[in-house]
Amino acid sequence: MAVKVAQEWFAICGGCEVTILDVGEPLIDLLAELEFVHMPVIMDHKLYGQTGEESKADIPEADVGILTGSIRNEENKELAELMRSRVNFLISMGSCACYGGVPALANQFAVDEIYQRVYQGNSTTDPGETPAEGLPALLDRVYAVHEVVDVDLMLPGCPTTPDMFVAAVMHLLKGTPFALETKSVCDQCPTIREQKTGEGITLKRPLESVEGVGEALETVRCFMEQGYLCQGPATRAGCGGMDGGTPRCIRAYMPCRGCFGPLTDQANPMVDMMGAISTIGLNPRDIPDRAAQFNRFAGSGRLRTKRR
């Protein structure tokens, strides 16, 4: 009998849903074993009845629930709780769901500041009233899914990788082992760390090409030692594939942006990165907006405005 799957999305870009499509041909075989009973991105199954006749949202019962996106407003919270009550096993998919992701950058600002900026203080918008009716209220901050409901499996990444999604599905269908990496992106990066401190290293923007583009990565100097803000030291590995391959961005000669999130629940990527940057002789204080820069994907519990 097919495994029933329900999926719902919150504060997101939709990239994690594209990851499912990016599975490619193996998805055809998987679809024979999965029955999607609710998934807004691919099917016209409504929350409030097919014609909006219901006053309360409903999600069909399923064996597995998948939630993408972070929890920003009352409706997201209610749907997360509803999904939890309807499924046996809940997956949070993507770094928005696992850590708050990019939407949680908003946690640097109080809700009234956000409303003020969007509806009154934006230079490209005519000042207007903050809409109050017919819209779910914002929560006090952006939350990761597990901060609101219990989660059974987290698939980090912005977006998560297709093979991690497949590995999670196979874990559910066949009981094959599944575990997140405990290593860092640096641990799976083949570039050369000369471990010389500082002389002559200047901070570079990621739009400037690293030295050695196109050459074998084993012969290229570590991007951070070249002066780029590569977040590999403070980021969980896994983006290179479940078999521990070279991290995704490093393969493309780009510094890691930290999208797989922190190495542990307690880790603070900003603190870890400031330490790593100091060891190559750069002054962390020269990095603008460093709290947001280094917690770009992990801000649900780590970026807090003092005014909230």
Q: Between residues 151 and 189, which has the closer beta carbon with respect to ligand SF4?
A: 189
Window of 9-17, 49-57, 169-177, 300-308 that interacts with ligand SF4 by CB under 6 A: 9-17
5 touches 36 (CB < 8 A): yes
Residues 6 or more apart in contact with residue 131 via CB below 8 angstroms: 119
Q: Candidates 24-32, 33-41, 94-102, 286-294: pick the segment binding ligand SF4 (CB under 6 A).
A: 94-102
Site string for ligand SF4, 157-176 (x = CB under 6 A): -xx-----------------
CB 157, min distance to ligand SF4, A: 6
For the bound state, the minimum distance from the C-beta of residue 159 to ligand SF4, rounded and expressed in Å, comes to 3
Residue nearest to ligand SF4 (CB): 232
CB-based contacts of 33: which residues, under 8 Å, 6+ apart? 2, 3, 173
| Separation CA 94–CA 165 (nearest Å) | 10
Question: Cα–Cα distances in Å, from 220 out to 30, 191, 272?
Answer: 39, 5, 24
CA distance linking residue 57 with residue 76, whole number of Å: 11
Interface residues for ligand SF4 in 17-56 (CB under 6 A)? none
Count other C-beta atoms under 10 Å from residue 189's C-beta: 24
Compare residues 80 and 230 and give the one whose CB is closer to ligand SF4.
230
Q: Which residues face 4 on adjacent strands?
A: 35
Asked if 16 interacts with ligand SF4 (CB under 6 A), we say yes
Rounded distance between C-alpha atoms, residue 265 and residue 151, angstroms: 14
x-marked contacts with ligand SF4 along 218-257 as a string, rule CB under 6 A: ----xxx-----x-xx-x---x-------xxxx----xxx
d(C-alpha 247, C-alpha 34), whole Å: 30
Can you tell me which of 69, 162, 262, 301 binds ligand SF4, judged by CB under 6 A?
Answer: 69
Question: Which segment (8-16, 116-124, 137-145, 288-296) binds ligand SF4 by CB under 6 A?
Answer: 8-16
Instruction: Answer for the pair 253, 247: CB distance below 8 angstroms, yes or no.
Output: no
Residue that the structure tokens 């009233």 belong to:
129
Q: Residue 95, interface with ligand SF4 (CB under 6 A)?
A: yes
CB of 256 to ligand SF4, least distance (A): 3
For residue 220, which of 231, 212, 228 has the smallest C-alpha distance?
A: 212
DSSP class of 131: P
Interface with ligand SF4 by CB under 6 A: which residues? 12-13, 15-16, 68-69, 94-96, 101-102, 158-159, 185-186, 189, 191, 193, 222-224, 230, 232-233, 235, 239, 247-250, 255-260
